[in-house]
Amino acid sequence: MMISGHLGVNFAGHLTVSGVDTVDIAKEYGTPLYVMDEQTIRENLRSLKEAIDRSCKNGGRVAFASKACSFKEMYRIVASEGCGTDVVSCGEMYTAMQAGMPLDRVYFHGNNKTDADLRYALENGVGRIVVDNFDELRALEAVAAELGKTAAILMRVTPGIDAHTHSFIRTGQIDSKFGFTLETGEVYEAVETALSLPHIDLKGLHCHVASQIFDEEPMIHAAEVMVGVMVEIKNRFGRALSELNLGGGFGIAYTDEDHPKPAHEYMELVGNAVTKTAENNDFPTPFVIVEPGRSIVAAAGLTLYTVGGVKRIPNVRTYVSVDGGMTDNPRYALYQAAYTAVLPEKAAAEPTETVTISGHCCESGDLLQENVPLPAVKRGDLLAFLTTGAYNYSMSSNYNRYPKPAVVMVNDGETRVVVRRETFEDVARNDI
Ligand X SMILES: *Cc1c(COP(=O)(O)O)cnc(C)c1O
Hey, which residues are catalytic here? 362
**Residue 295 within binding range of ligand X, rule CB under 6 A:** yes
Q: Is 193 helix (H, G, I), strand (E, B) or coil?
A: helix
Q: How far is the CB of 57 from ligand X (least distance, A)?
A: 23
**Residue 247 within binding range of ligand X, rule CB under 6 A:** yes
* Contacting residue, 218, 293, 325, 389, with ligand X by CB under 6 A: 293
**Residue 37 within binding range of ligand X, rule CB under 6 A:** no
* Contacting residue, 42, 61, 105, 208, with ligand X by CB under 6 A: 208
DSSP annotation of 414: E
145 touches 115 (CB < 8 A): no
- Is 25 or 157 the residue whose CB approaches ligand X more closely? 157
**Residue 331 within binding range of ligand X, rule CB under 6 A:** no
**Residue 292 within binding range of ligand X, rule CB under 6 A:** yes
**Residue 92 within binding range of ligand X, rule CB under 6 A:** no
DSSP annotation of 286: P
322 touches 383 (CB < 8 A): yes
Phi and psi at 426, nearest 5°, equal -60, -40
Residue type, 256: D
Closest by alpha carbon to 240, among 199, 203, 196, 290? 203
383 touches 305 (CB < 8 A): yes
**Residue 170 within binding range of ligand X, rule CB under 6 A:** no
Q: How far is the CB of 218 from ligand X (least distance, A)?
A: 13
**Residue 211 within binding range of ligand X, rule CB under 6 A:** yes
Q: How many residues lie near ligand X (CB under 6 A)?
A: 18
Using alpha carbons, list the distances in angstroms from residue 334 to 177, 200, 337, 341, 365. Answer: 19, 38, 8, 18, 9
Please enumerate in sequence order all residues whose Cβ is within 8 A of that of 382, keeping only pairs 6 or more positions apart, or say none: 22, 23, 26, 31, 304, 305, 306, 307, 343, 344, 345
**Residue 249 within binding range of ligand X, rule CB under 6 A:** yes
**Residue 86 within binding range of ligand X, rule CB under 6 A:** yes
Site string for ligand X, 213-242 (x = CB under 6 A): ------------------------------
- Is 25 or 126 the residue whose CB approaches ligand X more closely? 126
- Is 297 or 320 the residue whose CB approaches ligand X more closely? 297
Residue type, 33: L
End-to-end CA distance of the chain: 50
81 touches 42 (CB < 8 A): yes
Q: How far is the CB of 48 from ligand X (least distance, A)?
A: 11
> Length of the chain, please?
432
- Is 99 or 207 the residue whose CB approaches ligand X more closely? 207
* Contacting residue, 84, 159, 179, 248, with ligand X by CB under 6 A: 248
Which part of the chain contacts ligand X (CB under 6 A), choosing from 51-59, 187-195, 232-240, 285-293? Answer: 285-293
d(CA 353, CA 152): 57
- Is 42 or 208 the residue whose CB approaches ligand X more closely? 208
* Contacting residue, 81, 291, 323, 328, with ligand X by CB under 6 A: 291
What is the separation of C-alpha 267 from the centre of its chain, rounded to a whole number of angstroms?
16
The secondary structure element, H or E, covering residue 40 is helix 38-55
- Is 54 or 166 the residue whose CB approaches ligand X more closely? 166
The per-residue DSSP string of 96-111 comes to: HHHTT--GGGEEE--S
**Residue 387 within binding range of ligand X, rule CB under 6 A:** no
**Residue 128 within binding range of ligand X, rule CB under 6 A:** no
Q: What residues numbered 53-82 form the site for ligand X, per CB under 6 A?
A: 65, 67-68
**Residue 286 within binding range of ligand X, rule CB under 6 A:** no
Interacting residue ranges for ligand X, rule: CB under 6 A: 65, 67-68, 86, 109, 208, 211-212, 247-250, 291-295, 390
